[in-house]
Amino acid sequence: MEERPKKLLILYATQTGNALDVAERVGREAERRGCHVHLLSIDQYDASCLAQEGTVIFVVSTTGQGDTPDPMKGFWKYLLQRNLSGQWLEGLHYAIFGLGDSGYQKFNFVAKKLDRRLLDLGATPIIQRGLGDDQHPSGYEAALDPWMISLWNMLNNINPKYFPNGPEFLIPYENFMAEPKVRIRYHDIKQVDSQFSTNSDLNHIALQIERARRVSPVKFSLDKNRPDCILKLVKNEPLTKSGSKDKEVHHFEFEYVSSAIEYEVGDVLEVLPSQNPAAIDSFILRCNLDPESFITVHPSEMENQLLDACIPIKLKTFVELTMDVASASPRRYFFEVMSMFATAEHEKERLQYFVSPEGRDDLYQYNQRERRTVLEVLEDFPSVQMPLEWLVQLVPPLKTRAFSISSSPSAHPNQVHLTVNVVSWTTPFKRSRAGLCSNWLAKLDPEQRVYVPVWFQKGSLPPPPPSLPLILIGPGTGCAPFRGFVEERAIQSLTGSTAPVMFFFGCRNEDNDFLYREFWISHSQNGGVLSEAKGGGFYVAFSRDQSQKVYVQHKIQEHGQRVWNLLREGAAVYVAGSSTKMPADVLLAFEEIISKESGLPQESAVRWLRALEKAERYHVEAWS
């Protein structure tokens, strides 16, 4: 009896889609070498079966401050069980590719700790782990390409059955091009017209979002299909000085229009943005699509009898709600597929060069560095006419944007407040770019009855009890969650005693971007919760108002003795803001204060802070 071909198991853990993109590319490159592949999200795999596997390739991303992606949390919890012996994974060969950003303190932390744990359990690495870096001039592919070359060679040495013709053998792209993973069915408008309401009622809006996201090939978690609720915008006001070139920040207030959703301070609001109607129309026109047609989208392998259960949706609505055509950059595979459909020879050659190892850096410069959108890329290659099936599969999904809630439900019972930095920047080739969600929100007029679909999520900042002393650090829009904290603590102080709160805020100029100035000052005076009389304090670092730059870490050190006293009283530290240097600089400031005030050496201060983290009294919520 002929032996079945060896299958290579690839498990990926992704938060934003990058790890899936890499896993799919590793899978395609293996299949081009004649290897059979089984690709799975790590939350679809039974961790107890790991010991029975021969070889596993892991592709894992690191999120936030060294956090594990949501789909990996159950798998990781299983691996940490104490009853697993050091020989449990003997016989398992593995390779790991991590995706991270060296701008973060815990660069590729998830890949590193997975590697250590697999070794502890007796598994054998095939090659040294690969660590992709978003900060590299060529992105994570700079590390991925050489890592894959080593992987194929070492995998072939371990078991030649993976590659019947050797790792150098390659099926040409033209012969290898897979079929799209989805099929599109078009429906007669008369058959489905009764399914749709012409009313703009909120339930209909929520239903449309749920329907579009449910049939999208992007697997949103089931609780993310339908919005938790739809909020009405009641206030949109700038917090920064009008005409300020450095920064534009807006304060938003939303009201519930149906049943209220409960949330706590420190929670996060995810907003589904609307895309520019002109961009949607241009995309549909460029792709020769009929915006008024009704479609269903389903996996290619779905049984015919199951297709009838799919409810059709208008094509234009589907594009608007699920496909990011004018803000996100397409992935590398988009260019591979485009090269198959290019009819102009010079366009085909350029696309083939882009996806070759030699063209990797140029593609990164053209695409990611310039943040070219799907629409711009398609317009740059006019001979390419991709079928809708491929577009649905490859256009980046329209994602929700997460914002720290800047209100207390106790202070504003029927409202949710947000503090949003309106994002804009210039690319290396001087193209103006703008953040999709923040710029859309900034242009909304509360007088126009605007409704916004949202989801509530737990953030990284747990709500503190009133008896817990707090040291809060929130420069810029990092102050957002702490506005809610202070509101909540002020209300708690009306009916009982509360612990002290120190808050360190930072901005560029006192006149331009001192966010919520009156609010902070009012709570720092007359025995307020931020007052020194109550054992707390409010301190501001204006980084540009003097010749020498002053940041929050300098203010923390300036008040080091009071900070140390509060830490000794059991205070919790909360840090929120930019993920670049701030969290690391703040941590270093605490290390120096602890060392100086306690007389301990620096190493002991580091251990002291690690103990604080383990006791869940040092929290960080940072964003890029």
With CA atoms as reference, report the closest residue to 26 among 125, 173, 152, 126: 152
> Is 62 flagged in the annotation as binding?
yes
Position 307 scores a pLDDT of 54
> Is 477 flagged in the annotation as binding?
yes
What token pair was written down for 305?
């009898």
| Residues sharing a CB contact under 8 Å with residue 31, sequence separation 6 or more, in sequence order | 37, 171, 176
> Is 63 flagged in the annotation as binding?
yes
> Is 290 flagged in the annotation as binding?
no
> Is 549 flagged in the annotation as binding?
yes
> Is 394 flagged in the annotation as binding?
no
> Is 19 flagged in the annotation as binding?
yes
> Is 534 flagged in the annotation as binding?
no
> Is 360 flagged in the annotation as binding?
no
> Is 119 flagged in the annotation as binding?
no
> Is 535 flagged in the annotation as binding?
no
Position 205 scores a pLDDT of 84
Position 3 scores a pLDDT of 47
Position 368 scores a pLDDT of 86
With CA atoms as reference, report the closest residue to 144 among 129, 165, 158, 157: 129
Q: Left (φ > 0), alpha (ψ -120 to 50) or beta: where does 204 sit?
A: alpha
3 state DSSP class of 390: helix
544, 551 in Cβ contact below 8 A? no
Within 13 Å of residue 231, how many CA atoms lie on the same side as its CB?
Answer: 25
Position 170 scores a pLDDT of 75
Cα distances (angstroms) measured from residue 553 to each of 120, 235, 516, 609? 38, 33, 20, 16
> Is 598 flagged in the annotation as binding?
no
Q: Beta strands 424-426 and 401-404: pairing type?
A: unpaired
> Is 568 flagged in the annotation as binding?
no
What token pair was written down for 244?
């300020």
What token pair was written down for 156?
């072939």
Nearest-angstrom CA–CA distance, 248 and 258: 31
3 state DSSP class of 454: strand
Which stretches does DSSP call E strand in 378-439?
Answer: 401-404, 415-421, 424-426, 432-434
Which stretches does DSSP call E strand in 36-143?
Answer: 36-41, 55-61, 93-100, 124-125, 130-133
Low-confidence ranges of the chain (pLDDT < 70): 1-6, 173-178, 189-200, 218-224, 243-246, 302-309
Position 429 scores a pLDDT of 85
> Is 47 flagged in the annotation as binding?
no
Which residue in this structure is represented by tokens 């060069």? 353
* Greatest alpha-carbon span in the chain: 87
Which residue in this structure is represented by tokens 């099936």? 389
Position 302 scores a pLDDT of 64
Position 33 scores a pLDDT of 87
Cα 543 to chain centroid, rounded: 29
Q: How many CB atoms lie within 10 A of CB 154?
A: 15
> Is 435 flagged in the annotation as binding?
yes
DSSP-assigned letters across all residues of 278-330: HHHHHHHHHTT--TT-EEEEEETT--HHHHTTSPPEEHHHHHHHHB--SSSPP
Q: Left (φ > 0), alpha (ψ -120 to 50) or beta: where does 472 sit?
A: beta
> Is 226 flagged in the annotation as binding?
no
Nearest-angstrom CA–CA distance, 550 and 193: 62
Q: Radius of gyration (Cα) for the chain, nearest Å? A: 27
Position 188 scores a pLDDT of 82
Position 175 scores a pLDDT of 65
Nearest-angstrom CA–CA distance, 373 and 324: 8
Within 13 Å of residue 155, how many CA atoms lie on the same side as its CB?
Answer: 28
- What's the CA dihedral at 272, 273, 275, 276 to 10 degrees? 160
> Is 198 flagged in the annotation as binding?
no
> Is 329 flagged in the annotation as binding?
no
Q: Beta strands 451-457 and 268-271: pairing type?
A: antiparallel
Nearest-angstrom CA–CA distance, 354 and 344: 16
Within 13 Å of residue 186, how many CA atoms lie on the same side as its CB?
Answer: 10
| Residue 63 DSSP symbol | B
Q: How many CB atoms lie within 10 A of CB 598?
A: 14
With CA atoms as reference, report the closest residue to 482 among 402, 558, 538, 566: 538
Nearest-angstrom CA–CA distance, 500 and 566: 8
Which stretch of DSSP H or E encloses residue 272?
Answer: none
> Is 460 flagged in the annotation as binding?
no
Triad 163, 166, 167: Cα angle to 5°: 85
With CA atoms as reference, report the closest residue to 137 among 347, 333, 362: 362
> Is 437 flagged in the annotation as binding?
yes
> Is 331 flagged in the annotation as binding?
no
pTM (2 d.p.): 0.87
Nearest-angstrom CA–CA distance, 581 and 447: 40
> Is 130 flagged in the annotation as binding?
no
> Is 111 flagged in the annotation as binding?
no
Cα distances (angstroms) measured from residue 133 to each of 119, 130, 144? 23, 10, 10
What token pair was written down for 101?
């950003």
With CA atoms as reference, report the closest residue to 539 among 529, 561, 524, 518: 524
> Is 64 flagged in the annotation as binding?
yes
| Residues sharing a CB contact under 8 Å with residue 233, sequence separation 6 or more, in sequence order | 252, 253, 254, 444, 446, 450, 451, 452
What token pair was written down for 376?
């711009």
| Residue 230 DSSP symbol | E
Position 192 scores a pLDDT of 45
Nearest-angstrom CA–CA distance, 274 and 296: 22
Position 346 scores a pLDDT of 97
Q: Left (φ > 0), alpha (ψ -120 to 50) or beta: where does 108 sit?
A: left
> Is 322 flagged in the annotation as binding?
no
Ordered structural domains, the chain, with CATH: 7-172 (3.40.50.360), 182-394 (1.20.990.10), 470-623 (3.40.50.80)
8, 35 in Cβ contact below 8 A? yes
> Is 66 flagged in the annotation as binding?
no
> Is 223 flagged in the annotation as binding?
no
Nearest-angstrom CA–CA distance, 50 and 454: 38
Q: Amino acid identity of 43?
A: D
